[in-house]
Homo-oligomer: A and B are copies of this chain.
Protein backbone atom coordinates (compact mmCIF):
# COMPACT_ATOMS: atom_id res chain seq x y z
CA UNK A 1 0.00 0.00 0.00
CA UNK A 2 2.88 2.38 0.71
CA UNK A 3 4.36 1.74 -2.72
CA UNK A 4 0.98 2.34 -4.33
CA UNK A 5 0.72 5.56 -2.32
CA UNK A 6 4.13 6.65 -3.60
CA UNK A 7 2.89 6.25 -7.16
CA UNK A 8 -0.19 8.35 -6.42
CA UNK A 9 1.93 11.02 -4.75
CA UNK A 10 4.58 11.17 -7.50
CA UNK A 11 4.62 14.69 -8.93
CA UNK A 12 2.03 15.79 -6.32
CA UNK A 13 3.89 15.71 -3.02
CA UNK A 14 7.34 17.21 -2.68
CA UNK A 15 10.31 14.91 -2.10
CA UNK A 16 11.47 16.92 0.90
CA UNK A 17 15.22 17.29 1.49
CA UNK A 18 17.30 15.67 4.20
CA UNK A 19 19.19 18.57 5.78
CA UNK A 20 22.21 18.66 8.07
CA UNK A 21 24.74 21.05 9.56
CA UNK A 22 28.22 20.42 10.97
CA UNK A 23 27.30 22.71 13.88
CA UNK A 24 24.35 20.53 14.90
CA UNK A 25 26.46 17.39 14.54
CA UNK A 26 29.02 18.90 16.93
CA UNK A 27 26.29 19.99 19.34
CA UNK A 28 24.68 16.54 19.43
CA UNK A 29 27.93 14.59 19.31
CA UNK A 30 26.49 12.50 16.49
CA UNK A 31 25.42 12.82 12.86
CA UNK A 32 22.00 14.49 12.77
CA UNK A 33 19.81 14.71 9.66
CA UNK A 34 16.48 16.49 9.40
CA UNK A 35 13.77 15.18 7.06
CA UNK A 36 12.13 18.51 6.36
CA UNK A 37 8.43 17.71 5.98
CA UNK A 38 7.73 21.29 7.05
CA UNK A 39 8.52 22.00 3.38
CA UNK A 40 5.71 19.71 2.21
CA UNK A 41 2.59 21.27 0.65
CA UNK A 42 0.41 22.90 3.36
CA UNK A 43 3.45 22.95 5.68
CA UNK A 44 3.21 19.42 7.05
CA UNK A 45 3.37 15.73 6.10
CA UNK A 46 -0.43 15.53 6.37
CA UNK A 47 -0.87 16.22 2.66
CA UNK A 48 0.65 12.80 1.90
CA UNK A 49 -1.95 10.72 3.73
CA UNK A 50 -4.83 12.98 2.75
CA UNK A 51 -3.97 12.91 -0.94
CA UNK A 52 -3.44 9.16 -0.92
CA UNK A 53 -6.81 8.56 0.74
CA UNK A 54 -8.65 10.95 -1.57
CA UNK A 55 -6.90 9.54 -4.59
CA UNK A 56 -7.35 5.86 -3.65
CA UNK A 57 -10.96 6.03 -2.44
CA UNK A 58 -12.16 8.33 -5.19
CA UNK A 59 -14.92 9.91 -3.06
CA UNK A 60 -17.43 12.45 -4.38
CA UNK A 61 -16.80 14.60 -1.30
CA UNK A 62 -14.83 14.38 1.94
CA UNK A 63 -15.26 15.35 5.55
CA UNK A 64 -12.67 15.62 8.32
CA UNK A 65 -12.41 16.70 11.95
CA UNK A 66 -9.34 18.78 12.60
CA UNK A 67 -8.28 22.16 13.83
CA UNK A 68 -4.84 21.94 12.32
CA UNK A 69 -2.55 20.31 9.82
CA UNK A 70 -4.85 17.44 8.79
CA UNK A 71 -7.55 19.97 7.88
CA UNK A 72 -5.24 21.71 5.44
CA UNK A 73 -3.99 18.45 3.92
CA UNK A 74 -7.55 17.26 3.29
CA UNK A 75 -8.68 20.65 1.99
CA UNK A 76 -5.85 20.89 -0.54
CA UNK A 77 -6.33 17.28 -1.66
CA UNK A 78 -10.03 17.88 -2.27
CA UNK A 79 -9.29 21.06 -4.16
CA UNK A 80 -6.85 19.27 -6.46
CA UNK A 81 -9.39 16.50 -6.99
CA UNK A 82 -12.17 19.02 -7.62
CA UNK A 83 -14.51 17.66 -4.95
CA UNK A 84 -16.09 19.41 -1.95
CA UNK A 85 -14.41 19.23 1.46
CA UNK A 86 -16.15 19.87 4.76
CA UNK A 87 -13.92 20.43 7.78
CA UNK A 88 -15.46 20.42 11.23
CA UNK A 89 -13.49 22.67 13.56
CA UNK A 90 -14.08 23.89 17.10
CA UNK A 91 -15.36 27.47 17.16
CA UNK A 92 -12.44 28.44 19.38
CA UNK A 93 -9.78 27.24 16.93
CA UNK A 94 -7.21 29.92 16.05
CA UNK A 95 -8.63 32.26 13.41
CA UNK A 96 -5.59 31.77 11.20
CA UNK A 97 -6.15 28.01 10.97
CA UNK A 98 -9.80 28.54 10.11
CA UNK A 99 -8.82 31.10 7.47
CA UNK A 100 -6.12 28.85 5.99
CA UNK A 101 -8.54 25.97 5.66
CA UNK A 102 -11.16 28.21 4.01
CA UNK A 103 -8.49 29.68 1.73
CA UNK A 104 -7.84 26.16 0.47
CA UNK A 105 -11.48 26.00 -0.63
CA UNK A 106 -12.95 23.91 2.18
CA UNK A 107 -16.28 24.58 3.84
CA UNK A 108 -15.54 25.04 7.53
CA UNK A 109 -18.28 24.12 9.98
CA UNK A 110 -17.70 25.42 13.49
CA UNK A 111 -19.11 23.72 16.57
CA UNK A 112 -19.19 24.59 20.24
CA UNK A 113 -16.96 22.17 22.14
CA UNK A 114 -19.03 22.63 25.32
CA UNK A 115 -22.52 22.10 23.97
CA UNK A 116 -22.27 20.22 20.67
CA UNK A 117 -21.16 16.71 19.67
CA UNK A 118 -18.80 16.85 16.71
CA UNK A 119 -19.23 13.17 15.85
CA UNK A 120 -23.00 13.63 15.61
CA UNK A 121 -22.56 16.68 13.39
CA UNK A 122 -20.08 14.79 11.21
CA UNK A 123 -22.23 11.67 10.86
CA UNK A 124 -25.28 13.73 9.93
CA UNK A 125 -23.43 15.78 7.30
CA UNK A 126 -21.70 12.70 5.87
CA UNK A 127 -25.05 10.94 5.44
CA UNK A 128 -26.90 13.97 4.09
CA UNK A 129 -24.27 14.87 1.54
CA UNK A 130 -22.61 11.53 0.78
CA UNK A 131 -19.22 12.57 2.16
CA UNK A 132 -16.37 10.16 2.94
CA UNK A 133 -14.65 10.59 6.32
CA UNK A 134 -10.88 11.00 6.09
CA UNK A 135 -9.52 10.15 9.53
CA UNK A 136 -6.38 11.90 10.79
CA UNK A 137 -4.39 8.72 11.47
CA UNK A 138 -6.30 5.50 12.10
CA UNK A 139 -7.04 4.65 8.47
CA UNK A 140 -4.96 2.38 6.23
CA UNK A 141 -4.82 4.77 3.24
CA UNK A 142 -3.69 7.62 5.47
CA UNK A 143 -0.97 5.53 7.15
CA UNK A 144 0.23 4.35 3.72
CA UNK A 145 0.45 7.94 2.49
CA UNK A 146 2.46 9.05 5.51
CA UNK A 147 4.65 5.96 4.97
CA UNK A 148 5.94 7.41 1.71
CA UNK A 149 8.06 9.67 3.93
CA UNK A 150 9.79 6.46 5.03
CA UNK A 151 10.48 5.34 1.46
CA UNK A 152 12.20 8.68 0.83
CA UNK A 153 14.18 8.39 4.07
CA UNK A 154 15.37 4.92 3.03
CA UNK A 155 16.57 6.24 -0.34
CA UNK A 156 18.14 9.38 1.08
CA UNK A 157 19.92 7.52 3.87
CA UNK A 158 21.31 5.04 1.34
CA UNK A 159 22.60 7.96 -0.79
CA UNK A 160 24.43 9.23 2.30
CA UNK A 161 25.78 5.80 3.16
CA UNK A 162 23.75 5.60 6.38
CA UNK A 163 22.61 1.99 6.73
CA UNK A 164 22.18 1.76 10.49
CA UNK A 165 20.78 4.38 12.81
CA UNK A 166 17.79 5.82 14.57
CA UNK A 167 14.81 7.60 13.03
CA UNK A 168 13.05 9.95 15.45
CA UNK A 169 9.45 10.80 14.56
CA UNK A 170 7.05 13.24 16.26
CA UNK A 171 4.17 11.06 17.42
CA UNK A 172 0.56 12.02 18.11
CA UNK A 173 -1.92 9.42 16.86
CA UNK A 174 0.92 7.49 15.26
CA UNK A 175 0.03 7.68 11.57
CA UNK A 176 3.40 9.08 10.54
CA UNK A 177 5.32 6.92 13.02
CA UNK A 178 3.69 3.66 11.96
CA UNK A 179 3.82 4.49 8.26
CA UNK A 180 7.54 5.25 8.38
CA UNK A 181 8.21 2.16 10.51
CA UNK A 182 6.46 -0.08 7.96
CA UNK A 183 8.35 1.46 5.06
CA UNK A 184 11.70 1.07 6.80
CA UNK A 185 10.96 -2.51 7.87
CA UNK A 186 10.88 -3.38 4.17
CA UNK A 187 13.43 -0.99 2.73
CA UNK A 188 15.99 -0.16 5.42
CA UNK A 189 15.74 -2.55 8.36
CA UNK A 190 18.89 -1.05 9.90
CA UNK A 191 16.97 2.17 10.56
CA UNK A 192 14.87 1.94 13.71
CA UNK A 193 11.97 4.29 14.41
CA UNK A 194 11.56 5.90 17.84
CA UNK A 195 8.36 7.86 18.56
CA UNK A 196 8.97 11.29 20.13
CA UNK A 197 6.51 13.12 22.35
CA UNK A 198 6.32 16.21 24.56
CA UNK A 199 6.46 15.86 28.34
CA UNK A 200 3.00 15.41 29.83
CA UNK A 201 1.61 13.93 26.60
CA UNK A 202 3.72 10.79 26.45
CA UNK A 203 0.98 8.20 26.03
CA UNK A 204 2.94 6.20 23.46
CA UNK A 205 6.11 6.01 25.56
CA UNK A 206 3.96 4.88 28.50
CA UNK A 207 2.13 2.38 26.28
CA UNK A 208 5.50 0.92 25.25
CA UNK A 209 6.42 0.62 28.95
CA UNK A 210 3.18 -1.06 30.04
CA UNK A 211 2.51 -3.03 26.85
CA UNK A 212 -1.04 -1.73 26.50
CA UNK A 213 -2.59 1.35 24.94
CA UNK A 214 -2.36 4.23 27.44
CA UNK A 215 -4.18 7.56 27.23
CA UNK A 216 -3.12 11.12 27.92
CA UNK A 217 -4.75 12.63 30.97
CA UNK A 218 -4.79 16.10 29.41
CA UNK A 219 -5.75 17.06 25.84
CA UNK A 220 -4.75 20.69 25.80
CA UNK A 221 -2.20 23.01 27.32
CA UNK A 222 0.78 21.98 25.20
CA UNK A 223 2.54 24.26 22.74
CA UNK A 224 3.03 21.03 20.74
CA UNK A 225 -0.69 21.04 19.86
CA UNK A 226 -0.11 19.42 16.45
CA UNK A 227 0.82 16.08 18.03
CA UNK A 228 -1.51 15.98 21.03
CA UNK A 229 -4.17 13.26 20.68
CA UNK A 230 -5.99 11.18 23.32
CA UNK A 231 -4.12 8.00 22.40
CA UNK A 232 -2.58 6.13 19.47
CA UNK A 233 -4.92 4.34 17.07
CA UNK A 234 -6.21 0.79 16.82
CA UNK A 235 -4.26 0.39 13.57
CA UNK A 236 -1.18 2.43 14.47
CA UNK A 237 -0.47 1.13 17.97
CA UNK A 238 0.17 -2.54 17.03
CA UNK A 239 2.62 -1.39 14.35
CA UNK A 240 4.42 0.88 16.82
CA UNK A 241 4.50 -1.90 19.41
CA UNK A 242 5.96 -4.39 16.92
CA UNK A 243 8.45 -2.20 15.07
CA UNK A 244 9.51 0.82 17.13
CA UNK A 245 12.33 1.31 19.59
CA UNK A 246 11.70 3.08 22.87
CA UNK A 247 10.05 6.47 22.73
CA UNK A 248 11.76 9.75 23.57
CA UNK A 249 10.13 12.44 25.68
CA UNK A 250 11.30 16.05 25.46
CA UNK A 251 10.39 19.20 27.33
CA UNK A 252 8.66 22.17 25.73
CA UNK A 253 11.80 24.19 26.31
CA UNK A 254 13.84 21.62 24.36
CA UNK A 255 11.32 21.79 21.50
CA UNK A 256 11.62 25.59 21.44
CA UNK A 257 15.42 25.37 21.49
CA UNK A 258 15.33 22.93 18.58
CA UNK A 259 13.14 25.41 16.65
CA UNK A 260 15.76 28.11 17.21
CA UNK A 261 18.62 25.85 16.14
CA UNK A 262 16.72 24.75 13.02
CA UNK A 263 16.27 28.43 12.19
CA UNK A 264 19.95 29.22 12.72
CA UNK A 265 21.60 26.23 11.06
CA UNK A 266 19.11 24.52 8.74
CA UNK A 267 17.10 27.60 7.63
CA UNK A 268 13.74 25.92 8.12
CA UNK A 269 10.71 26.90 10.17
CA UNK A 270 9.36 24.25 12.56
CA UNK A 271 6.30 24.30 14.80
CA UNK A 272 6.82 23.10 18.39
CA UNK A 273 5.17 19.70 17.76
CA UNK A 274 7.23 19.33 14.58
CA UNK A 275 10.44 20.01 16.50
CA UNK A 276 10.21 17.30 19.18
CA UNK A 277 12.14 14.73 17.12
CA UNK A 278 14.94 17.19 16.40
CA UNK A 279 14.97 18.10 20.08
CA UNK A 280 15.35 14.44 20.99
CA UNK A 281 18.14 14.02 18.42
CA UNK A 282 20.03 17.04 19.77
CA UNK A 283 19.50 16.66 23.49
CA UNK A 284 18.89 12.99 24.33
CA UNK A 285 22.56 12.03 24.29
CA UNK A 286 22.52 8.95 22.05
CA UNK A 287 25.21 7.96 19.58
CA UNK A 288 25.36 6.97 15.92
CA UNK A 289 23.49 8.61 13.04
CA UNK A 290 19.99 9.89 13.71
CA UNK A 291 17.38 11.08 11.24
CA UNK A 292 14.83 13.40 12.85
CA UNK A 293 11.57 13.99 11.03
CA UNK A 294 10.32 17.60 11.12
CA UNK A 295 6.64 16.86 10.76
CA UNK A 296 5.38 20.42 10.33
CA UNK A 297 6.10 24.12 10.30
CA UNK A 298 2.72 25.77 10.85
CA UNK A 299 3.71 28.08 13.65
CA UNK A 300 2.47 31.59 14.28
CA UNK A 301 4.94 34.44 14.44
CA UNK A 302 4.59 35.03 18.18
CA UNK A 303 5.61 31.43 18.93
CA UNK A 304 8.59 31.63 16.56
CA UNK A 305 9.72 34.85 18.23
CA UNK A 306 9.45 33.06 21.58
CA UNK A 307 11.67 30.26 20.25
CA UNK A 308 14.20 32.76 18.90
CA UNK A 309 14.43 34.50 22.27
CA UNK A 310 15.23 31.35 24.27
**Which of A129-137, A170-178, A297-305 makes up part of the contact surface?**
A297-305
CB of A66 within 8 A of chain B?
no
B268 adjacent to A267 (CB under 8 Å):
yes
- CB-contacts of A185-224 with B (<8 A): none
Pick from B17, B26, B304: contact of A17, CB under 8 Å = B17
CB of A279 within 8 A of chain B?
no
For this chain, the copies found in one complex come to 2
- CB-contacts of A1-43 with B (<8 A): 11, 14, 16-17, 19, 22-23, 26, 36, 38-39, 43
| Distance (whole angstroms) from the CB of A275 to the closest CB of chain B | 12
A-side interface residues, number (CB < 8 Å)? 32
Bound-complex Cα distance A270 to B103 (A): 25
A263 adjacent to B39 (CB under 8 Å):
no
14 cross-chain CB contacts under 8 A = A14-B17, A17-B39, A22-B76, A22-B103, A38-B267, A39-B266, A39-B268, A43-B265, A268-B269, A301-B308, A301-B309, A304-B308, A305-B305, A305-B309
B22 adjacent to A39 (CB under 8 Å):
no
Pick from B17, B76, B265, B305: contact of A16, CB under 8 Å = B17
Q: A263-B269, A267-B297 are in contact. Are A39 and B16 (CB under 8 A)?
A: no
- CB-contacts of A232-280 with B (<8 A): 260, 263-270
A22 adjacent to B268 (CB under 8 Å):
no
Bound-complex Cα distance A39 to B262 (A): 11
Pick from B43, B76, B104: contact of A267, CB under 8 Å = B43
